[in-house]
Structure formats: structure tokens, C-alpha cells
Amino acid sequence: MPRKKKGSSPKKTGNSPATHPLGFQYMSEERPLTVSRFSDILPGLVARYGLGRKLGVEKYQRTWEQILSKLTAANRQYPPGEKLRELSRPIAFRNGTVRIEVEGNILFQELGFQRTWILSEFQRALPEEKIKQIRFTLK
């Protein structure tokens, strides 16, 4: 592609809109220059790329790790919290229900026995989320 001179104005070819010096096409004849505040743009970007869900899951992941640490500190029968983190993780929150994916039937059953305590810990850690139920699912 031949090099274009610096500062050259956009070229118009036929019925197509003007072309940028590097080959990009402008959307209209005039080069729209609008400056927006980042706070105005951010919600759209979060929605477009699904970042809200990812950030939400991160919040539940951190809370889950804290709950597992308390659980293993209180009950010596469980493996260390790090091992439990490898075998379970929150995967969704919808309509007041936190879904936690668990690897293995035995851990699934053991966490089921602790469901009420785990629910109260989630409610204490995240009161603004209005958590009503914990659901465990096998991986």
C-alpha cells in the first residue's frame, strides 16, 4: 500500500464516505469528534462485554473462599481450605439463589449438611444481595 503524506485530508471515492489516511472509512462526510466522560461510557462497555457478570462472580468467589476458610478452621474433618477451593466454586447468582459447583459426591453431601450455616455466612457477608438459597450442583 503506498504511503500517504502526513496531514493529507480524507479522500472521497465515488459514493463511498471519506477514507482515513491509514485506509479506515469514516462513517460520514464530517469527522465526528465527540468527547464523553468515562463514567458515561463505562456502563455500556460493562453490559456489552458481560463484565458485570464476571465481576459479580468474583465477589461471590472471594466470599466463598472466606466461608471455606472458616469452615475448615472450625471443623478439622474437612481438608484444608485450599483443597476445597479447588473442588468447588460459585458459578451463578440468580433470583436470590447462589449456585455452587462441587466436584465429587462426598463433598457435595458434606456441603449439603452445612447448607444452613453456609447460607447464613453468605447473607452476613453480602447483605445487599438478598441471598435466600444455596444450591449445590455436581461438576
> What is the set of domains in the chain, with CATH numbers?
51-138 (3.30.300.180)
Compute the average pLDDT of residues 30-52. Answer: 63
For the cut 60, the answer to whether the pLDDT of residue 97 exceeds it is: yes
pLDDT category at 117 given cuts 50, 70, 90 is: very high
CA 128, CA 75: separation in Å to the nearest integer? 28
What's the pLDDT score for residue 101? 94
Share of the chain above pLDDT 70, in %: 56
Average pLDDT of the chain is: 76
The dihedral built from the CA positions of residue 137, 68, 70 and 75, taken in this order, carries a sign that is positive
**Contacts with 28 (C-beta within 8 Å, 6 or more apart), sequence order:** 17
Whether the predicted model's global pTM rises above the 0.75 cut: no
78-89, pLDDT tens digit by residue? 666 677 788 899
Q: What distances in angstroms separate CA 45 from CA 39, 40, 51, 137, one per listed residue?
A: 10, 10, 8, 31
What's the pLDDT score for residue 28? 59
Compute the average pLDDT of residues 53-76. Answer: 79
For the cut 80, the answer to whether the pLDDT of residue 99 exceeds it is: yes
